[in-house]
Amino acid sequence: MLKNIPSILSPELLKVLSEMGHSDRICIGDGNFPGASMAKAEGAIFLRADGHGVPEILDAILQVFPLDAYVETPAMLMEKMERDKDLEIPVWDEYKAIIAKHDARGANAVGNYERFEFYEQAKKCYCILQTGETAIYANIILQKGVI
């Protein structure tokens, strides 16, 4: 056990977060995200966080992980498809509130990728973390900054 480290962060995840350097990215996928196949595509590290939702994981990661101050939007969401344009995605508001706790830019640190561009960017991430999140469009990519 370690002091001041959120217990939701597994030893494997802590190791990966520590290994990541400035501008490396981690994709946190919801339960429907094709994380294993995305990780295989470019050789990303694939980890699981079954039983946990993205908001809890996001908050824990941001307690130890600085967002990149050298890019406008170091936190990227997957845009809704046209057929889903009327769907409400309340988890996005949770993400913005969590990010605001850890980054002075708040919601301004959050951007969007078109769905298929999100997949392409996820393949290029250092790590893909698959969660048990049940909300749709709950995927997020974080770009690491410096301390």
Distance of CA 4 to the CA centre of its chain: 21
Q: Where are the domains of the chain?
A: 23-143
Q: Which amino acid is at 99?
A: I
Q: Is the pLDDT of residue 34 over 90?
A: yes
If you count DSSP H runs as helices and E runs as strands, how many of each does the chain have, helices first? Answer: 5, 6
Burial of 63 (C-beta count, 10 Å sphere; 0-12/13-18/19+)? middle
Question: 102-112 pLDDT, tens per residue?
Answer: 999 999 999 99
CA-based Rg of the chain, rounded to a whole angstrom?
Answer: 14
Element (DSSP H or E) covering residue 113: strand 110-113
Q: Hey, what CATH class is 23-143 in?
A: alpha beta
Question: 127-138 pLDDT, tens per residue?
Answer: 999 999 999 999
Q: Catalytic residues, which ones?
A: 22, 68, 119
